[in-house]
A and B are shown apart, each in its own frame.
Chain A
Amino acid sequence: AQSVAQPEDQVNVAEGNPLTVKCTYSVSGNPYLFWYVQYPNRGLQFLLKYITGDNLVKGSYGFEAEFNKSQTSFHLKKPSALVSDSALYFCAVNYGNMLTFGGGTRLMVKP
């Protein structure tokens, strides 16, 4: 069975500083990995995905993620955080077209 862990419930970062939101996964075979963001009272918005190929994936709003097979990790990163990045972030693995989500990490960017 597949699983996803997001070890941090909340990440605090100052505006302009780099941010990292951590994700580790467990899945049989090659993983399809995704990051989504959720703003209050909204659905989930797709940020980026890893299917195969280059381990560094670039996505929407300046976000990128690094796939590390040996550490089974898929951390979300951004070089310079914005206050508007404050939201709930979910890492997910897709197996058989069923998304299994991590518990979510609340990102707080302070001015």
Chain B
Amino acid sequence: KAGVTQTPRYLIKTRGQQVTLSCSPISGHRSVSWYQQTPGQGLQFLFEYFSETQRNKGNFPGRFSGRQFSNSRSEMNVSTLELGDSALYLCASSLAGQGHNEQFFGPGTRLTVL
């Protein structure tokens, strides 16, 4: 099976712009989660989608949003970019979205905000 794929792998944006990141989960996986990784804050949970519904949300401002499509593919959007949004954004998928299921991560999208 193909792994989790994320596009694009690298992005450079300027402050105030918006960005959309894409994630394709492993075939058959219905849960998709997003994480932000920065040197200062480490790995932080953004949100989780299951069957096109947001099930969980981390402690991030409303500028961060996401959605999931019927084929389980997911997108996340960040509006009005700030310098602090520069990070590696990781997408992860799991089979049934239950706590004991391991999550499989994509390679990430590195976002740089200038």
What is the size category of the interface that chain B forms with chain A? 20 to 34
B43, CB-defined interface residue at 8 Å:
yes
B100 A43 Cβ-Cβ under 8 A: no
Interface residues of A, count at CB 8 A:
24
When A and B form their complex, what is the total count of cross-chain residue pairs whose Cβ atoms lie within 8 Å? 62
B102 A43 Cβ-Cβ under 8 A: no
A97-B35 CB under 8 A given contacts A43-B107, A46-B103? no
B103 A99 Cβ-Cβ under 8 A: yes
A residues less than 8 Å from B58 (CB atoms): 98
Chain B interface SS verdict (over half): strand
What is the CB-to-nearest-CB distance from B30 to chain A, in angstroms, rounded to a whole number? 11
What is the CB-to-nearest-CB distance from A78 to chain B, in angstroms, rounded to a whole number? 19
> 11 A-B pairs, CB-CB below 8 angstroms?
A32-B99, A32-B100, A43-B90, A46-B105, A49-B102, A92-B43, A97-B94, A97-B97, A98-B56, A98-B58, A99-B92
| Residues of A participating in the B interface, judged by any CB pair closer than 8 Å | 32, 34, 36, 41-46, 49, 51, 90, 92, 94-104
